[in-house]
Chain A
């Protein structure tokens, strides 16, 4: 809401005129000032003058020579405008004055006649768009008057952000009331006197939907002459961001800005039978609104209608057919109360946001219509020559009853932490327009312009606002302290491990396009093939909830490769979403996804190595180490992955993830070439880690020896290692594969696997002789289980 300080000052005498102090006051009232604009005149040296004579120019027929009285005497200027006559009061830009756009006015020679200064138009003065003719001043101010005083400049305009609970603050009067309460000064009420009416009115109002429209007032005004509004009003409206139209429409807007009550003016001659009906629209009913849009209505839209058709969307926008036009002489002025939610929903449905919507959706004071109507009637009478006809027609079958709240004095201290006496609380509330009786509890009657206040807590907020949040002492409570819970620790632990492994964390959207999911070729019985759909997505690409983190990871790799970051290792931790039709909510476990492409890090010129599935395997080993969990890698085939370079990750017999290389066709679909090591693990499935103990390492020397086995090609080495570990017994400290090869001297279809074994006893030095049975046990196990022969043994 844009609010002129001069306008506010018509209602309240503030103890300061400093815009900064006033803006801070508004901020502290909860009426955030988003901008403070000082509106200065775009001109200097302009004064009022009266035209005393006009004659033609001796050598130019498009301009005239105009004699004016500038208060100090007569002088003659050349003028190209024709929209005035002798006696007109005009704005005279003196020699040395300055106009909008920085134009300096001097004494100019125009076709042989000297013109000391000029008569200015609105546009030249920078106060409006009218540039076709000069500005004519209606009120006939005295010649010589400083023109800037007439246009009430300079002014300050505050751009106030009003929260959705405060309909009252959507008005100059409301802001004045708040500032008055803040500074403790009285506020002047709106003048509700109406010029005396003539005759009786035939206007009838019928409310068919009393819930949507609890009150409707209509006033007939006859004898109206439609014309532009006076300068001061156009200036006010422009400063508030409202475009001036004509005197009657401008008044409705002006009074709305001033009081917060939206008004509408109908051309009464275009309302058949002079009867207004407030009803729900019939489904499919059509209405062309003032903005020129032909709209199809539905049964939940409330309309203002004449007996034959709708003439406006109630509380939102008028219809084109009945709008005030230059020919209008009889006006029906509407000031009504509409239920907020209906206005809000209809406005949203039709995509209309008018000043009226912004007020009605917050809940306008139901007692305001007659007040605003009176104010508008008297302005129309003054500005458009209108005369009220008959009395105000006021349909208000069920007047609102004021809300009364009982407030215990200690409630203020309980919620704010500041002790105030009953008298102080009553005083603060009283300044805001609340009526307070009793001392404890206080019995508080809420003014009708504050529909947001219904409970003691709401009153406590009012007390806090006016007492000042700054005046509440800060205290620091402590909670019972349960620390960082396991699920949060797990995220940190896994993240730290991934970062330590050289991976970069990304955050991607939870939305994917259907195509991205289909590319991964999940089987029909895989829940990932049936992702959850967003009912109202932003776009097709954001229409499905990711059932896997892989699309985000692959997108991330593609972005980097495209931008010439060809070596990339990324990971993400986030939820995936899987259907659970019987449950209240879908399944949404936390997953870890990762992917890497290009060369290993840090090997720039020294040595290069491309990533492959073993990077993913190594990462799982590292995660097992980091989490203390026995994660197992089992060769398998999984959708999305290279069929020969893929494994399932198991924990305690449960499948918790998949790792390997992305299927080359799928990588290609993402625009990736070369091997892509990737994987996805459910962090939710990890459970809790076993407790760890740190033990003293053995002080005795190890026994180290190597064994090489001749095995069938493609024997899973991981399983061989597991068998070796089991057969080696408890003194085995480490078993490391250090060589794998095939080819001569081995037979075809055979391979050699060499393992270095380190044994160490915690309490004594081991001797070589002890290793003989161990060696035999290992060799026997590998032979029996895998058909492997000890080489060189």
Chain B
């Protein structure tokens, strides 16, 4: 018969050794030695059934106390061992996090695309939609429908590139402006017309710092029953501020274009120097931004619109030029350079 004193002695022995147990296995063994199956505590618990009332009470208390004490001590030691083991693993897993990270692949949209979308979205917010048309275009839509006389110098082979297609050697060309889309759109749609036309255009300009034979324009057209030059001013002023910042001032100077009358050029005060004069604005304080004007009545007549009932305005801007101005790009041809060292700098 195991006495409570024996149990306490056993407990004392195990509890002394548990805190220094070197492994989980040793904790298990020590715990089993005291309270595992066949261990003295288990034996004592089994003997309780046959024991007398007094013995049972005393021995029972001892069994419970020893079991609780040993279990708790074993759990404590296991936790300590687990913590130590984790610490050791963390030590082994040390990683030099100053090494270059594993970069997720990130490409870039081209700056022309970014600026293109940004301008389009400014006008979409004003209720415009986007129209497009062919880049290889007929001379009719590129010139005739836009009030360009048959003898206008822009039609000359020194300025316009013609494409060998069809019988007329000067019948098909690479469009020199996005404006032919205006004419096509008006033919196919009834007013009101509120469109922007972003796209590629072509001129026979040899490649240098400021010229490439391919560049990008965005054309806008608003036609309705009472569109005025004042509407043109308000719209383009809104655009300039949306694109260059709300503090920008604009000015309109009279100009000449064959398909608008009156015509104007819009300038915006220089965002880089606040109009004081700097390299961006060539010391003038102003940046020439776009050409615009009230749609010439002849353009309406060609499109089948009534010029006495309708009025409208049109404007055209260089997407590449806006990109260059805003991002300080010194040469137009950089926009056509596929060098990743340039492309990576795009936002």
By a beta-carbon cutoff of 8 Å, the part of chain A in contact with chain B is 27-30, 32, 163-166, 341, 344-345, 348, 413-418, 455, 457-458, 460-461, 464-465, 469-470, 472-485, 487-488, 492, 495-496, 498-511, 532-538, 542, 545, 555-557, 559-560, 563, 565, 568-571, 574-575, 577, 579, 581, 584-586, 588, 600-606
By a beta-carbon cutoff of 8 Å, the part of chain B in contact with chain A is 99-100, 102-110, 112-113, 117, 120-121, 124, 126-130, 132, 134-138, 149, 151, 153, 156-158, 161-166, 169, 172, 174, 192, 194, 200, 202, 204, 206-207, 212-214, 222, 224, 226-231, 233-235, 237-238, 251-256, 261-265, 294, 296-297, 311, 335-341, 343-344
Residue contacts A-B, CB under 8 angstroms, 28 given: A166-B256, A341-B151, A348-B153, A415-B294, A416-B230, A418-B228, A455-B297, A457-B294, A469-B253, A475-B228, A475-B234, A476-B234, A480-B192, A481-B129, A482-B129, A495-B109, A499-B106, A499-B109, A503-B107, A504-B108, A507-B110, A510-B200, A545-B136, A560-B338, A569-B107, A585-B137, A586-B172, A602-B104
CB contact between B109 and one of A505, A565, A604 (< 8 Å): that residue: A505
Judging by beta carbons under 8 Å apart, are B107 and A417 in contact? no
Which residue of chain A is the closest to B173 with respect to CB atoms?
A535
Residues in chain A near residue B161, CB distance under 8 A: 534-538
Q: How far is the CA of A557 from the CA of B338 in the complex (A)?
A: 8
Judging by beta carbons under 8 Å apart, are B107 and A499 in contact? yes
Judging by beta carbons under 8 Å apart, are B230 and A588 in contact? no
| B150 vs chain A, min Cβ distance (A) | 9
CB contact between B130 and one of A475, A484, A556 (< 8 Å): that residue: A484
Judging by beta carbons under 8 Å apart, are A602 and B120 in contact? no
Q: How far is the CA of A605 from the CA of B98 in the complex (A)?
A: 13
Q: How far is the CA of A58 from the CA of B45 in the complex (A)?
A: 149
Given A480-B127, A488-B130, A555-B338, also A501-B107 (CB < 8 A): yes
Judging by beta carbons under 8 Å apart, are A485 and B297 in contact? no
Judging by beta carbons under 8 Å apart, are A475 and B230 in contact? yes
Determine which residue in B149, B254, B336, B344 has the highest number of CB atoms from chain A within 10 A of its CB, and name it.
B254
Judging by beta carbons under 8 Å apart, are B340 and A565 in contact? yes
Given A345-B151, A505-B113, A532-B165, also A585-B235 (CB < 8 A): no
| A431 vs chain B, min Cβ distance (A) | 15
Can you name 17 extra interface pairs (CB under 8 A) apart from A484-B124, A510-B202? A28-B254, A164-B256, A341-B151, A416-B262, A455-B297, A460-B294, A469-B251, A470-B251, A479-B129, A483-B129, A500-B107, A504-B343, A507-B110, A532-B164, A538-B161, A559-B339, A584-B166
CB contact between A585 and one of B134, B256, B335 (< 8 Å): that residue: B134
| B284 vs chain A, min Cβ distance (A) | 10
Which residue of chain A is the closest to B193 with respect to CB atoms?
A479
CB contact between B229 and one of A30, A415, A500, A555 (< 8 Å): that residue: A415
Residues in chain A near residue B162, CB distance under 8 A: 534-536
Given A30-B254, A545-B136, A586-B163, also A476-B107 (CB < 8 A): no
Given A30-B253, A164-B256, A504-B107, also A556-B230 (CB < 8 A): no
Judging by beta carbons under 8 Å apart, are B336 and A509 in contact? yes
Judging by beta carbons under 8 Å apart, are B253 and A474 in contact? no
Which residue of chain A is the closest to B198 with respect to CB atoms?
A488
The 6 closest A-B pairs by CB, nearest first: A479-B194, A502-B105, A30-B254, A417-B228, A417-B230, A602-B103
Q: How far is the CA of A704 from the CA of B138 in the complex (A)?
A: 61
Residues in chain A near residue B336, CB distance under 8 A: 507-509
Judging by beta carbons under 8 Å apart, are B230 and A479 in contact? no
Given A455-B297, A475-B231, A507-B110, also A32-B253 (CB < 8 A): yes
Q: How far is the CA of A263 from the CA of B121 in the complex (A)?
A: 54
Which residue of chain B is the closest to A564 with respect to CB atoms?
B341
Judging by beta carbons under 8 Å apart, are B136 and A532 in contact? yes
Which residue of chain A is the closest to B335 with respect to CB atoms?
A507
Judging by beta carbons under 8 Å apart, are A481 and B127 in contact? yes
Judging by beta carbons under 8 Å apart, are B194 and A506 in contact? no
| B191 vs chain A, min Cβ distance (A) | 10
Residues in chain A near residue B230, CB distance under 8 A: 416-418, 472-475
Q: How far is the CA of A555 from the CA of B169 in the complex (A)?
A: 31
Residues in chain B near residue A476, CB distance under 8 A: 126, 231, 234-235, 238
Q: How far is the CA of A564 from the CA of B131 in the complex (A)?
A: 40
Judging by beta carbons under 8 Å apart, are A560 and B340 in contact? yes
Judging by beta carbons under 8 Å apart, are B339 and A163 in contact? no
Determine which residue in A483, A507, A560, A574 has the highest number of CB atoms from chain B within 10 A of its CB, and name it.
A507
Judging by beta carbons under 8 Å apart, are B213 and A502 in contact? no
Judging by beta carbons under 8 Å apart, are B104 and A465 in contact? no
Residues in chain A near residue B294, CB distance under 8 A: 415-416, 457, 460
Residues in chain B near residue A30, CB distance under 8 A: 253-256
Residues in chain B near residue A571, CB distance under 8 A: 107
Judging by beta carbons under 8 Å apart, are B158 and A348 in contact? yes
Judging by beta carbons under 8 Å apart, are B222 and A469 in contact? no
Q: How far is the CA of A723 from the CA of B78 in the complex (A)?
A: 53
Residues in chain B near residue A455, CB distance under 8 A: 261, 297
Q: How far is the CA of A475 from the CA of B237 in the complex (A)?
A: 10
Residues in chain B near residue A481, CB distance under 8 A: 124, 127-129, 194
Determine which residue in A345, A418, A480 has the highest number of CB atoms from chain B within 10 A of its CB, and name it.
A480
| A504 vs chain B, min Cβ distance (A) | 4
Q: How far is the CA of A584 from the CA of B105 in the complex (A)?
A: 44
Q: How far is the CA of A556 from the CA of B336 in the complex (A)?
A: 10
CB contact between B107 and one of A502, A563, A577 (< 8 Å): that residue: A502
Q: How far is the CA of A348 from the CA of B297 in the complex (A)?
A: 30
| B290 vs chain A, min Cβ distance (A) | 14
Which residue of chain A is the closest to B132 with respect to CB atoms?
A487
Judging by beta carbons under 8 Å apart, are B256 and A502 in contact? no
Q: How far is the CA of A455 from the CA of B307 in the complex (A)?
A: 12
Residues in chain B near residue A584, CB distance under 8 A: 138, 166
Judging by beta carbons under 8 Å apart, are B255 and A163 in contact? yes
Residues in chain A near residue B228, CB distance under 8 A: 413-418, 475
Q: How far is the CA of A588 from the CA of B340 in the complex (A)?
A: 28
CB contact between B156 and one of A348, A465, A488, A498 (< 8 Å): that residue: A348
Residues in chain B near residue A601, CB distance under 8 A: 103, 105-106
Judging by beta carbons under 8 Å apart, are A163 and B222 in contact? no
| A200 vs chain B, min Cβ distance (A) | 41
Which residue of chain B is the closest to A579 with respect to CB atoms?
B165
Judging by beta carbons under 8 Å apart, are B105 and A533 in contact? no
Given A503-B107, A535-B169, A584-B166, also A606-B102 (CB < 8 A): yes
| A161 vs chain B, min Cβ distance (A) | 10
Residues in chain B near residue A480, CB distance under 8 A: 127, 192, 194
Q: How far is the CA of A482 from the CA of B126 in the complex (A)?
A: 10
Q: How far is the CA of A533 from the CA of B161 in the complex (A)?
A: 10
CB contact between A479 and one of B222, B238, B337 (< 8 Å): that residue: B222
Judging by beta carbons under 8 Å apart, are A461 and B262 in contact? yes
Judging by beta carbons under 8 Å apart, are B254 and A461 in contact? yes
CB contact between A507 and one of B112, B128, B238 (< 8 Å): that residue: B112
Judging by beta carbons under 8 Å apart, are B108 and A505 in contact? yes
CB contact between B128 and one of A479, A533, A560 (< 8 Å): that residue: A479
Which residue of chain A is the closest to B344 with respect to CB atoms?
A504
Residues in chain A near residue B254, CB distance under 8 A: 28-30, 461, 464-465, 469
Residues in chain A near residue B338, CB distance under 8 A: 504, 506, 508, 555-557, 559-560, 570
Q: How far is the CA of A30 from the CA of B228 in the complex (A)?
A: 19
| B24 vs chain A, min Cβ distance (A) | 32
Which residue of chain A is the closest to B256 with respect to CB atoms?
A163
Q: How far is the CA of A418 from the CA of B232 in the complex (A)?
A: 13
Judging by beta carbons under 8 Å apart, are B234 and A603 in contact? no
CB contact between B136 and one of A418, A473, A536, A585 (< 8 Å): that residue: A585
Judging by beta carbons under 8 Å apart, are A534 and B163 in contact? yes
Q: How far is the CA of A480 from the CA of B191 in the complex (A)?
A: 10
Q: How far is the CA of A415 from the CA of B293 in the complex (A)?
A: 10
Determine which residue in B99, B238, B343 has the highest number of CB atoms from chain A within 10 A of its CB, and name it.
B343
| B301 vs chain A, min Cβ distance (A) | 11
Residues in chain A near residue B163, CB distance under 8 A: 532-535, 545, 586
Given A163-B255, A415-B294, A457-B261, also A479-B132 (CB < 8 A): no
Q: How far is the CA of A664 from the CA of B102 in the complex (A)?
A: 30
Which residue of chain B is the closest to A567 with respect to CB atoms?
B340
